[in-house]
């Protein structure tokens, strides 16, 4: 691959760091870009630069946003006492696409997974507790993938919130078993997610 000019080689290296993209795929993408017009390449570059220049994380829910709080957290028609807890922004978007959920979200930033070194301390559990108490949340919906890390995270959140449940002011539920075991929330179709949400059960 050393026969490529340095700008192409450097961009191949950057693309190959993206999840699911190996060197061969990165090479095809960069060679494709190299064959575009200067205007098209500059537009692509500006879009990438905007990620660093304009994108930030919502201080409330943890979602990607151009401002903080984000549009969902600013929306006064959303129910602040109904909170859906997800692992990542893609899961939030998948649930939002159903058009069924009218509450707000809290993104943990991942799931508890000792195998990859993800611990409770690295996730946004403290912020979750603060929001529940501040907003007097009446129901927390756990929407994690139906796999080992997802189930483990559900148990962790349930244990963390148990004192509030015992006080009688909080209900903790989870998505119904409409999602196949081992699947990802972000890839579930809207009908399946709508069913899992509307038929949620006690965690």
E strand segments, the chain: 56-57, 64-65, 79-86, 103-107, 139-142, 171-174, 201-202
In a domain, 65, yes or no: no
In a domain, 173, yes or no: yes
For 42-90, the pLDDT digits (tens) are: 999 999 998 888 889 999 999 999 988 999 999 999 999 999 999 999 9
Torsion angles phi and psi, residue 118, rounded to 5: -90, 115
In a domain, 10, yes or no: yes
Same domain, 180 and 141: yes
Alpha carbon distances (Å) from 183 to 90, 99, 112, 115, 203 = 14, 21, 17, 19, 19
Q: Is the pLDDT of residue 188 over 60?
A: yes
Q: What is the arithmetic mean of pLDDT over 78-105? A: 95
Return the pLDDT at 118: 86
**Share above pLDDT 90 across residues of the chain, in percent, rounded to a whole number:** 69
Q: Is the pLDDT of residue 194 over 80?
A: yes
Confidence of residue 2 (pLDDT cuts 50, 70, 90): low
Return the pLDDT at 199: 80
Number of domains in the chain: 2
Q: Is the pLDDT of residue 152 over 60?
A: yes
Domain extent at residue 138: 78-202
Is the overall model pTM greater than 0.85, yes or no?
no
Q: Is the pLDDT of residue 182 over 60?
A: no
In a domain, 62, yes or no: no
């Amino acid at each position: 691959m050393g026969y490529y000019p340095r700008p192409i080689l450097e961009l191949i290296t950057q693309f190959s760091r993206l999840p699911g993209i190996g060197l061969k795929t990165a090479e095809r993408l960069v060679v494709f870009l190299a064959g575009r017009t200067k205007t098209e390449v500059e537009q692509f570059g500006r879009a990438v630069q905007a990620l660093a220049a304009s994108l930030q994380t919502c201080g409330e829910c943890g979602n990607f946003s151009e401002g903080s709080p984000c549009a969902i957290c600013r929306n006064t028609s959303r129910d602040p006492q109904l909170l859906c807890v997800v692992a990542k922004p893609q899961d939030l978007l998948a649930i939002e696409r159903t058009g069924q959920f009218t509450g707000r979200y809290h993104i943990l930033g991942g799931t508890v997974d000792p195998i990859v070194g993800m611990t409770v301390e690295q996730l946004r559990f403290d912020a979750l507790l603060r929001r529940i108490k501040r907003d007097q949340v009446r129901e927390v919906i756990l929407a994690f993938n139906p796999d080992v890390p997802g189930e483990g995270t559900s148990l962790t959140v349930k244990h963390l919130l148990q004192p509030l449940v015992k006080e009688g002011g909080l209900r903790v539920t989870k998505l119904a078993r409409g999602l196949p075991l081992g699947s990802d929330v972000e890839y579930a179709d809207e009908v399946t997610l709508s069913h899992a949400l509307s038929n949620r059960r006690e965690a």
